[in-house]
Structure 1
């Protein structure tokens, strides 16, 4: 299922690409969920061997689009619901590898989402952030015996389970965080398939970066208030480590803010605190930086990343602005528009294979 809002520029090529899986063609359907698309785009989509579901809402959200689509599809003979964003491309074996996880009994599975473009400094920073999250909150979490975090796309669920769960989701922003927490609360383990690749467009402009992060920060605050203290009770009374671990993620500040504030505190400590305090702060700062460096894949060790690092101060400033402007952001639909990166689908996938 590929929900999208005004994604006319990219949705046709994404749906065409989704048809090119090495999975048996008669065993999966591509479903384009079209919110506010141009008539010309709808006509192009209907020429493809896919299902096209048009939706319209007074206040558009991804959760509404998915729920409407499943209502239209009815109780068809689907076993798995795989969710993509309207900009996502899949490696040819993505469905096959995700399917293996369901064969072992998992109800929820997250694929390995990586960047499909790194054409600006902010896109590089976004790509690095995504891969750090993959290393710590997905691969690392599974190694530690707790659930992987889900991302919002490149994820799949047992169909009837997902349909029932989504019926109780009315989030405007961050619906994936809500179902992530609810599944862990209910004792459902989320698997991570590291070698199932899904390619996601990274933000290219500063204003898009700020708008996207504002939405994410708002959702993080909302779900922290809603679930964190409940997770502590569940940890104490039921030993639910998974739920507590996932809820604790909502307590963690974004990395760029963490690095920025720690750097500022260290600088201040040099002038207003004893030497010992300054040494402790620099050790703590160095430890955090080392953790992030270890989590960054080798493919990012290049001059392009060095150039992107120079944009960190601006990124910190934009994140700080997002932080002070989050009030009400989770109550309205903040759309992140996607565009074609100008690179062919074949080249995008080959670049990722080489890295």
Structure 2
């Protein structure tokens, strides 16, 4: 009995730290107004390169490339470059028929970092580089919004990635997870003066800085985390442009959810083990932002946190231990409040019993994801897009 209580107490301490962290930034995102960019009457004329790496994305990439050409931004000031890796020949021909740059690459072990670096190195003459995923569709004002932020002096800008589809229960829950991340790790962080977290796409950078920094990025998975750590170590700020929207396809099936989360958890564990001690060192050097990022790697996925909190509450009932019950049930309530504070009203309205009933299955998939992270640490696990009819 004593051993069980000790283990449960340790778990609850960890849960309390994680929950307090999430609650702090959830509140900050609601109560503290972040710095906003004022629209200038004279629009800046920055030259922008839009990079779209596409690995086996024949289902979506042609339409994405067409949509990328529909920006309000002057057409002579931006170029769309699609990086083709393992695409079908007919897809490549369709892309070459568009007024875009088509770059063909091939690697034995493909990664997004390799594809971007192969494209970037011979290029020059741009002010900004924008990175999208192969399923991303920019809002027509996206380039205009990031150029305005760049004109204000922000050299690293994370846009607001938002769900393109909510056509299945899994897609709705994935969209909710995305918005919670946006609220806590971007809006909430910027509200308290910390840099926003990068997300891997819908990002804009000073071109020369991006080209130089990317040259040292070798990540198999989660290149944005390695890139973010390099940025934070250099004590640079990442601005969150909440009104610069990019529509992102949400996973629609449990099998794709599992594959995606396995890749993400593997990357998170890799960066935690590789940067734990450097995070502590940077903290003592006054680099709170770098330490904060390393601390984020210590956070379990929120569904696992919630499951553990509920599990310890049920265990406290079985043990008939009132202090543990009060503490654990308080954590459950606090975690639920943190999550609800972070979800936009439009998505809250989409939650029904169908979505709630899908959560136990997702919890189980998270467990399987943790058990299969070894493969994902050394091999890129591709998540297919455009295989199921979507809604906007």
TM over 0.5: yes
Among 282, 293, 300, which residue is 2:340 paired with? 293
What SS does structure 1 have at the residue aligned with 2:79? Answer: coil
Aligned length: 342
Among 304, 308, 317, which residue is 1:261 paired with? 308
Among 74, 78, 82, which residue is 1:32 paired with? 82
CA pair 304-274 structure 1, distance change in 2 beyond 3 A:
closer
Alignment match, 1:111:
159
Shift, 1:303, TM fit: 4.9
Distance 2:162 2:288 in 1: 28
CA contact (8 A) 2:252 2:388 kept: no
Map of 1:86-97 to 2, 5 A cutoff?
86-97=134-145
Alignment match, 2:92:
42
Alignment match, 1:352:
none
What SS does structure 2 have at the residue aligned with 1:207? Answer: helix
Map of 1:143-292 to 2, 5 A cutoff?
143-236=191-284, 238-292=285-339
Which piece of structure 1 moves more, 223-232 or 170-179? 223-232
Distance 2:301 2:161 in 1: 19
Distance 1:106 1:120 in 2: 37
Distance 2:150 2:357 in 1: 43
What SS does structure 2 have at the residue aligned with 1:31? Answer: strand
Shift, 1:113, TM fit: 0.3
CA pair 305-70 structure 1, distance change in 2 beyond 3 A:
farther
Deviations 1:252-301 (A, max 9, x none): 10001101111111101111152121111101111111110111110022
Among 51, 54, 65, which residue is 1:4 paired with? 54
Alignment match, 2:113:
63
Q: Is 2:311 the counterpart of 1:311?
A: no
TM-score by structure 2 length?
A: 0.85
CA contact (8 A) 1:16 1:48 kept: yes
What SS does structure 2 have at the residue aligned with 1:29? Answer: strand
What SS does structure 1 have at the residue aligned with 2:104? Answer: strand
Among 65, 68, 80, which residue is 1:18 paired with? 68
Unpaired runs of 5+ in structure 1? 349-355
What SS does structure 2 have at the residue aligned with 1:22? Answer: coil
- Tell me how large the CA RMSD over aligned residues is: 1.2
Shift, 1:170, TM fit: 0.8
Shift, 1:342, TM fit: 3.3
Shift, 1:228, TM fit: 2.4
CA contact (8 A) 1:117 1:341 kept: no
Distance 2:361 2:238 in 1: 35
What SS does structure 1 have at the residue aligned with 2:327? Answer: helix
Shift, 1:229, TM fit: 2.0
Shift, 1:309, TM fit: 1.6
Unpaired runs of 5+ in structure 2? 1-50
Distance 1:75 1:60 in 2: 21
